[in-house]
Amino acid sequence: MFGRLVRESFVRNPRRKVLVAAALVVGMAVATSTLTIALEVGDRLAREFRSLGANLLVTPQADTLPIEIGGVDYRPVNEGAYLSETDLGKLKTIFWRHNILGFTPFLDVPATIQQSENSDPILAMIVGTWYAQNVSVPDGTSFKTGLSVTHPWWKVQGRWFHDDANECVIGSALAATMPGVTAGKVIYVTSRSPGDSAQGQPGTTQAIALKVVGIVSTDDAEDKALLVPLAIAQKLSGHPGQFRQLFVSALTKPADTFSERDPLKMTPTEYDRWFCSPYISSISFQIKTVLPGTDVRTIRRVADTEGRILSRVGTLLWIVTLAALGAAALAVAATSATTVLERRAEIGVMKALGATNSLIAGIFLAEQLLLAVAGGAIGFVVGAALARSLGASVFGTPASPRLILFPVILGIAAIVAFVGSLIPLRRASHFNPAPILRGE
C-alpha cells in the first residue's frame, strides 16, 4: 500500500514534479560539473604550475647551514658535498612516485672557454645537467626526465644537446660576449679539477671540444653559463657520477595546518594520514628517506603561490557548488510547500483514519527521493557534459566523467530534496485534521 500511495502520489500533478526535478537537475548538474572539475583541477593546475619550475631542491645535507629570509632560501650551493647520480632512480620508488613528474641534477664547474685553440680564454660557469635522460628505476623500468620536464620555459634557439654527445647550449648573455659563437660552431672548454690535497692527489686539467647546438634564454643565472650534458661536467670537474643539486618537480596538494606539523609529534593515525597525502612536506620526507644524507627544501615562492591559487580555486568551486545546491533546496522547499498545501485535505483524511505523522512524512519523502534519483541522474549526465565542455575550454582537454561521483550526486540530491522538504513536512505533521475535514 505504501508503494501504491507513493506511486500514485508521484504521477499526480506532473507539472509540479517537473519543477522539482528541474531544480534538482540544475543543482546536480552544477554540483557534478564543479565536483568533476574540482577533482581534476588540482592535478590540472598542478601540472600547469609545473611549468613554473621545480618545487623541491635537493642538496647534500652536509653542504651548508640554512640561510632563509622571508621564506626564501639563500644558501649558496656551489661548494661542499656531492650526491650520487646512481641513486636518482630511487625517487620513482617512493609512495608518491607517480607524483614525481621529473627531476634534474645540476653540477656547476668553473672553466674557461675558447672559440679556437689560440683565442683568448673567457672564464665562465659550466652547468652540467640532463635535457632528456633515461633513468633506470630499481623496479626495472626507466624514466625519462631532465630540463625538458622541470624547466620547460627555458627557450632555446637551435636545439638542446643530446645527453650522450659532446654538445652544449650557450646562455644568451654569455653568447653576447662571444660574437663568433653560433649554433654549429665548436668551442673548447678547459677546467682544472682541484684534486685532493689530503690524499696527495694533484689537480688535473681537462679540455673538451664541444659543439654549440643552441642558445638558451632562461631569465636566470644560466644565461651567463654554458650548459652541457651532466657527464661532461662530471668529467671536467673530476667527479664522475656525481652532482651538486637536484631540482624535483612534484605534484602536491596545497599545504594546510596539518601538513605543516612535525611528523615526529604525530599519532600513528595522523602520521599515516600525513604520509598518504601528497603534501609537499610528506613528499620531501619520502625523498629524504630514499636519498639519505640529503636536505630537501621547498622552493617556497613556487609552492606557496601554487597553494594559494589551488586553495582559492577550490574555495570558489565549493562556493559555486553550495550556492547551486542551496538554490535547488530552496526551489524544492517552495514546490514542496505548495504541494503540501494542495494535498492538505488528503493529509487530513489520512490522519483522521489513523495515519501516523511518520507515515505521512514517509510518503512525501519517498516521493521526493524518487524525484531526487531522477533529478540526480539527469543532473549527473548534464553536469558531466558541462564539465567536459568547461575542461576543454579552460584546460584544453575535456574533463572525463567520474563515475564515482554518480552515487555521491544521488546522495547529495537526496539530501537536498530532504532538506528542502523538511519545513513543509514539519508543517504537514502539524495539520489538525478536524478543521481540514470541516473544509476550513
Partner 1 sequence: MATLVQVENLRKEFGNVCALAGVSFRVEAGEWIAIMGPSGSGKTTLINILGGLDMPTSGQAIVDAIDVGRLDESGLTRFRAQKIGFIFQQFHLVPYLTALENVMLAQYFHSSTDEKEAREALERVGLGDRVEHLPGKLSGGEQQRVAVARALINHPKLILADEPTGNLDEANEETVIQLFHELHREGHTILMVTHAPSIGRLADRRIAFAHGRLVEVPASLKTSL
Residues that bind partner 1 (CB under 8 A): 1-2, 4-5, 8-9, 12, 345-346, 348-357, 359, 432-434, 437-439
What is the H or E stretch that residue 326 is in? helix 300-342
Instruction: State the Cα–Cα distance between residues 279 and 412, nearest whole angstrom.
Output: 28
Closest by alpha carbon to 295, among 284, 279, 280? 284
**What is the residue whose three cell numbers read 620547460?**
152
Nearer to partner 1, 306 or 367 (CB): 367
> Which residue shows C-alpha cell 627531476?
103
Q: How far is the CB of 373 from partner 1 (least distance, A)?
A: 21
Beta carbons within 8 Å of 354's beta carbon, 6+ residues apart: none
Return d(Cα 87, Cα 281) in angstroms, integer: 21
The Cα–Cα gap between 135 and 104 comes to: 11
CB of 353 to partner 1, least distance (A): 5
The CB-of-277 to partner 1 minimum distance in angstroms stands at 49
| Beta carbon nearer to partner 1, 17 or 50 | 17
Contact (CB, 8 A) for 111 and 189: yes
CA torsion, ordered 403, 404, 407, 413, to nearest 10 deg: -80
d(CA 6, CA 339): 14
Distance from C-alpha of 92 to C-alpha of 141, rounded to nearest angstrom: 10
Residue type, 108: D
Please state, in angstroms and rounded to a whole number, the distance separating the CA atoms of residues 290 and 100. 13
Under a CB-based contact definition with an 8 Å cutoff, are residues 77 and 59 in contact? yes
Task: Give the helix/strand (H/E) hosting 133.
Answer: strand 133-136
* Residue 346 CB, nearest approach to partner 1 (Å): 6
Least distance to partner 1, CB of residue 14, Å:
13
- Least distance to partner 1 from the beta carbon of 343, Å? 10
Distance of closest approach, residue 8 Cβ to partner 1, in angstroms = 4
Nearer of residues 172 and 357 to partner 1, judged by Cβ? 357
Q: Which is nearer to partner 1, 10 or 95 (CB)?
A: 10
Q: Least distance in Å: CB of 418 to partner 1?
A: 23
45 versus 365: smaller Cβ distance to partner 1: 365
Give me 281's grid cell.
Answer: 612536506
Angle at 358 between CA 437 and CA 11, to 5 degrees: 70
Query: Would you say 299 or 360 has its CB closer to partner 1?
Result: 360
Supply the minimum distance, in Å, between the C-beta of residue 5 and partner 1: 8
- Cα 232 from Cα 191, distance rounded (Å): 11
All 3 cell numbers of residue 350?
Answer: 489520512
CB of 7 to partner 1, least distance (A): 10
In the complex, least distance from residue 334 CB atom to partner 1, rounded to whole angstroms: 23
Residue type, 98: H
Residues 130 and 145: beta-carbon distance below 8 Å = yes
| Angle (deg, nearest 10), helices 357-395 and 2-11 | 50
Residue 28, judged by CB atoms within 10 A of its CB (0-12, 13-18, 19+), counts as buried
